[in-house]
Structure 1
């Protein structure tokens, strides 16, 4: 494990222990707020983001920081995604956390020019730590890993339908669902990306592609030998986070099979 990985792990673990886990299953109604339809924020999100941003600023004062809650408060912060920046999701899976349920975790990425250079995923319950650096492979707890499929026929798909309108949801169910065994999504990218490498799921479709949700996981899965890309095959870029549609798969072959089925938005 590199020095940087150790520093990021220490920071993530501290945020989990000091800002997140003390609120797990102890939140009051006043500590949970609605940000949008089917999207909440808690005191733990804000406390963790403050702690993480302070730590990253000390680690490298010259790099901008784009945190999920900072962008929510000031959308202009997202413009920093086109330059060198840290990207922080202080509590991924907040809806689960607010219900007192797992999974949830922390996501941090380092990007430059819209391209993710490094990514880290931390599971607050288990302490699982995933790390990846562009061109250097993917790791869990310092051990290099290779993405594996479930081996099932039909393949296992976790498809997010949450943010689709009714017409688009019906199209996805009609055109894609019959070709897969569908399983529930975890509502947590910090869990979904590892599932795609660890033989639990074969393929996923994501409608929303927010930078803080997908920067770390997309790099990690690609470095593990899976594939994450837009349905048209173009790479995921963090400064195109408002663009919709992303496919992640345990192998390039599984990715291609899903991309061949994926219906265009005009359908």
Structure 2
């Protein structure tokens, strides 16, 4: 079942990327981009990708509910499906701001959840054809090869700390009490890029304020299955049906997670 599911989902992601994301990449007209919220946009590629993915996933597992980012934005009642027995979670174009500016990174994130817990996840980068996959209890895989998370090896751990959605007080506290203990790097504003960076030795830790299911369900499972650790700052597991809570740590190792969690608990 796992292999057949991976094959079907991978084919759907690649076909969708080719027919929607790559079709419009660096070719967007002015009216192809609209403001969705402050500092957030949606493009024609988001919409087309979500429609195609939802239709394809409903054929792969017809009994499964679907929560797509754009559909949920239009109708918040869709969030209730995250607690269903089975639920597909779709981020049709992660990193939309980058995409709209005509630059990488961006990607597709898909996850399958069971009663609020992620049981499978797929992270696809259309520009490099990088596909990260994970199934609960079965490890993490990168383009078909088993992956074990590794740290950067830097003397001072490398951190990508998202301050975009932190309020001014929180932002100041993080900069004063957390940032000095790390080598800070820019965030990619793309979870489909950030989680692979944590597993591949590019970044050691990352801190997220906003934790929507479509952004994090696949990545959290992937990083944990690779041997890193992604969880709430208090150590509790990330659940898709509590995705409106704030705060999430991703780390290349449990030790790095614990160190950052302890620092956060003191501020």
TM-score, normalized by the shorter chain, greater than 0.5: yes
- The match for 2:196 is 194
SS state at 1:126 partner: coil
Matches within 5 A, 1:1-267: 2-83=3-84, 84-263=86-265
SS at match of 1:106: strand
The alpha carbon displacement at 1:263 in A equals 4.5
Question: Where does the alignment leave 5 or more consecutive residues of structure 1 unmatched?
Answer: none
Separation in 2, partners of 1:223, 1:27: 37
Q: CA separation in 1, counterparts of 2:165 and 2:105?
A: 19
Note the aligned Cα RMSD (angstroms).
Answer: 0.9
Contact 1:171 1:263 in 2 (8 A): no
**Deviating runs (4+, > 2 A) in structure 1?**
none
Offset, 1:240: 0.4
- In the TM superposition, what whole-angstrom CA distance separates every residue of 1:170-194 from its partner, at most 9, and x where no partner exists? 0000110000000000000000000
Partner-residue secondary structure (3-state), 2:16:
helix
Spell out, residue by residue over 1:77-128, the C-alpha distance to the aligned partner (whole angstroms, 9 max, x if none). Answer: 0100011100000000000000001000000000011100000000011010
Distance 1:263 1:178 in 2: 16
Contact in 2 for aligned 1:175/1:263 (Cα 8 Å): no
In the TM superposition, residue 58 of structure 1 has moved relative to its aligned partner by 0.7
Question: Number of residues paired by the alignment?
Answer: 265
1:173-230 Cα distance to aligned partner (Å, 9 max, x none): 0110000000000000000000000010000000000000000000000000000000
Distance across 2 between alignment mates of 1:132 and 1:23: 29
Aligned partner of residue 127 in structure 2, secondary structure: coil
State how far apart, in whole Å, the 2-side matches of 1:66 and 1:151 are.
38
Distance 2:264 2:13 in 1: 36
Alpha-carbon separation, structure 2, partners of 1:110 and 1:67: 12
CA contact (8 A) 1:147 1:226 kept: yes
Q: Distance in 1 between matches of 2:126 and 2:101?
A: 15
Deviations 1:128-183 (A, max 9, x none): 00100000000011110100000101100000000111111000001100000000
